[in-house]
Structure 1
Amino acid sequence: MKQKPIAVTMGDAAGIGPEIIVKTFANAAFIAEHPSFVIGDTGVLRRQATALRLDLAIREVTSVAEIEPQPGALDVLQVPGANALPPDLPVGAVNAAAGQAAFGAIRTAIDLAVRGEIAGICTAPIHKEALAAANVPYPGHTEMLADLSGTRDYAMMLVNPTLRTILVTVHCSMLDAVAKLSVETELRIIRLADRAMRELGIERPRVAVAGLNPHAGEGGLFGREDIDIIAPAIELARNEGIDASGPWPGDTVFMNARRGRFDIVVAQYHDQGLIPVKLAGVEDGVNITVGLPFVRTSPDHGTAFDIAGQGIADPASLQIALQTAHQFVQSRAKHPLSTGA
């Protein structure tokens, strides 16, 4: 059976998304192995390819049925009902029209994925301020993807060639992160970590849970969250047959994971998980939303307004994210699990 296509959403047109997309699709060898298409603005992508003098045929399509991925070509599904972005759209600056177009592409991709017309989504970077300027009621990709797909149990997972981490809390203050911790929340994320690894073909995933406090609380000397919240959740997970362990001190657990002791680390807050991943370089990092009924990946960097329009953006991160999406789709087919929301 032919694999359903993977869609790349264009991201914020004022950022580097269009540039890294056309550079990726102009790489014929890469696209031959990772056939995909783009949901976005055809005019923006054509102008970008022309500016970079790329030998890339760009074709606008109106449905997934028309898509014929092939090296040296880029099929673009224009967002239904959306106005084309103007040729003089400023780059490197917050723009409400760009924010609205980015949201339209994501919403279209989610609709297609929920209907089963595509196998997954790889999202180019969006800008939170542009979304707000367009009155989009979501702060970022993760919240859009979960709400518009009707998914209740989800989490952000970051991976690179040597490390995988999944986050209990994401975009909030440290005080709010601590307040959000509960046994139920910890257990939910541990389950999602185990599920994600099984979908990658790891039969018995080793899930390490990082402590919240220094030295995982040092037996209660530095706070009781590790004792009263994290440890009970780990015990409940183990009773379900999950190979979970911890809470491990946050200053050593990622080192041990890199050395092969664990398959994934559950991080308690945003920077605890992202600093060790990004230390290896954002060009290798991939953001994956775990728990969705479809695959979603994204490069682990932003819109890079500071270099937008200069033709110097590196497409490597998008290529790794798109490659990871294809790998996840293929692995899910080989190792199917229940993917209900």
Structure 2
Amino acid sequence: MAELPIAVTMGEPAGISAEITARAWAARGQFDLPPFFVIGDPDWAASGLAGLPVAEITAPRDCKAAFTQGLPVLPLNLHEPARPGTPSVANAAVTLQSIDRAVQLAQSGDVAAIVTNPIQKSVLYDAGFRHPGHTEYLAHLTGAKSPPTMLLSCPDEGDRPGLRVALVTVHLPLSQVPANLSEANIVATARAVAQALPRDFGVTEPRLAIAALNPHSGEAGALGHEELSIIAPAIARLRAEGINAAGPLPADTLFHAAARRNHDCVICMYHDQALIPLKTIDFARGVNITLGLDIVRTSPDHGVALDIAGQGRADPQSLITALIAARDIARNRVAYDAR
């Protein structure tokens, strides 16, 4: 049975998404990329790379044949031409329509996965958008029954192990993190990862490392109580459920190469605890993967980069890795569910 294509959303049209999408298509042979199409404005798509051939399609089934001839585009016209570096509220609705259409195609079984280009939330808010962010909007569209989990990864390279991290709290001021940690949300995050690793990544016996919040794991309460009162009880619950969870482990010794070989994912308590090591290990190829949806969704681990939009400087590596990850997760789910 032929594999389904991947739908790529337009993202913020004034950012770098046209360029990285075009450059990813141009590198399709080098990286053995799966067939993909972008849902967006054909003129916007063509602006991503000088001389880029664009192949307009009417349905996902046309993607495979078109993919060798040009970047396949399922047309969705902007309300006004995109100006690199200058987002327009007039185009906010089209940005959301691209996401809506991708989700519809994934839920109807017309595409294997969606890869979402970065959005500029401030512009969407000015247009009346009321969701905290991209992931929460996808949870709304898909009817997710519980909050999705953000997992980020970078791939192995030679002898260097990659890294997977999952976040218990996400976009919060650091001062608010302790008050928002609970035994329940640590357990929920770890459960979601333990369930996803076999189905999405082929990890048959997941090993989770649970990061401490405070330096030196709190030093038995001398440097903070969260390890004793919240994190350790959460780990005990996970172990009682049969989940292999180690910790609380000091974050300053958790991310070097030898330590990374001892676990399949680190459950991190806050944003920078997860993102700093990931981006230090492999800044260009980090991928954001959303767990807890009924569709496969990945995205590049960077923003819209308005400061370099339209300058021909954007690096497509994160989008390329997101496309590869989406293909692999979709394949793994099919194989796992067929067992």
Equivalent-residue separation in structure 2 for 1:32 and 1:240 (angstroms): 40
Which residue is 2:205 aligned to?
204
Deviations 1:149-208 (A, max 9, x none): 111142111101211100000011123322221111111001111122212111111100
**Letter paired with 2:75:** Q
User: Is residue 28 of structure 2 the alignment partner of residue 62 of structure 1?
Assistant: no
Equivalent-residue separation in structure 2 for 1:212 and 1:257 (angstroms): 21
Deviation at 1:117, TM superposition (A): 2.2
Equivalent-residue separation in structure 2 for 1:257 and 1:268 (angstroms): 21
Which residue is 2:151 aligned to?
157
2:84 to 74, 78, 91: 91
Q: SS in structure 2 opposite 1:29?
A: coil
Q: In 2 relative to 1, CA 258–145 (structure 1 residues): closer, same or farther, beyond 3 Å?
A: farther
Equivalent-residue separation in structure 2 for 1:47 and 1:253 (angstroms): 43
Q: In 2 relative to 1, CA 299–243 (structure 1 residues): closer, same or farther, beyond 3 Å?
A: same
Which residue is 1:335 aligned to?
336
1:78 to 75, 80, 93: 75
Deviations 1:78-124 (A, max 9, x none): 24xxx53433x321123213433222111111122222222211111
* Percent identical: 43
Equivalent-residue separation in structure 2 for 1:125 and 1:23 (angstroms): 16
Note the aligned Cα RMSD (angstroms). Answer: 2.0
Equivalent-residue separation in structure 2 for 1:279 and 1:337 (angstroms): 37
Unpaired runs of 5+ in structure 2? Answer: 156-161
The answer to whether the 8 Å contact 2:5/2:34 transfers is no
**Letter paired with 1:25:** W
Equivalent-residue separation in structure 2 for 1:107 and 1:258 (angstroms): 40
Q: SS in structure 1 opposite 2:256?
A: helix
Pairing of 1:117-266 with structure 2 (within 5 A): 117-151=110-144, 152-161=146-155, 162-199=162-199, 200-255=201-256, 258-266=259-267
The answer to whether the 8 Å contact 2:12/2:118 transfers is yes
**Letter paired with 1:147:** H
Equivalent-residue separation in structure 2 for 1:23 and 1:72 (angstroms): 14
**Letter paired with 1:99:** A
The answer to whether the 8 Å contact 2:308/2:314 transfers is yes
TM-score (norm 1): 0.91
Equivalent-residue separation in structure 1 for 2:62 and 2:74 (angstroms): 9
Q: In 2 relative to 1, CA 28–205 (structure 1 residues): closer, same or farther, beyond 3 Å?
A: closer
Q: In 2 relative to 1, CA 177–257 (structure 1 residues): closer, same or farther, beyond 3 Å?
A: farther
The answer to whether the 8 Å contact 1:163/1:258 transfers is no
The answer to whether the 8 Å contact 1:24/1:30 transfers is no
Q: SS in structure 2 opposite 1:21?
A: helix
TM-score (norm 2): 0.91
**Deviates most, 254-263 or 14-23:** 254-263
Equivalent-residue separation in structure 1 for 2:90 and 2:327 (angstroms): 31
Deviation at 1:4, TM superposition (A): 2.1
Pairing of 1:4-83 with structure 2 (within 5 A): 4-30=4-30, 33-49=33-49, 52-54=50-52, 56=53, 58-69=54-65, 70-79=67-76, 83=77
Equivalent-residue separation in structure 2 for 1:229 and 1:147 (angstroms): 29
User: Is residue 103 of structure 2 the alignment partner of residue 110 of structure 1?
Assistant: yes
Unpaired runs of 5+ in structure 1? Answer: none
Q: In 2 relative to 1, CA 131–211 (structure 1 residues): closer, same or farther, beyond 3 Å?
A: same
Q: SS in structure 1 opposite 2:307?
A: coil
Pairing of 1:316-335 with structure 2 (within 5 A): 316-335=317-336
Equivalent-residue separation in structure 1 for 2:318 and 2:249 (angstroms): 30
Equivalent-residue separation in structure 2 for 1:328 and 1:257 (angstroms): 26
Equivalent-residue separation in structure 1 for 2:326 and 2:245 (angstroms): 26
**Deviates most, 68-77 or 308-317:** 68-77
Deviation at 1:148, TM superposition (A): 1.2
**Letter paired with 1:127:** Q
**Letter paired with 1:334:** A
**Deviates most, 158-167 or 35-44:** 35-44
The answer to whether the 8 Å contact 1:26/1:71 transfers is no
**Letter paired with 1:156:** M
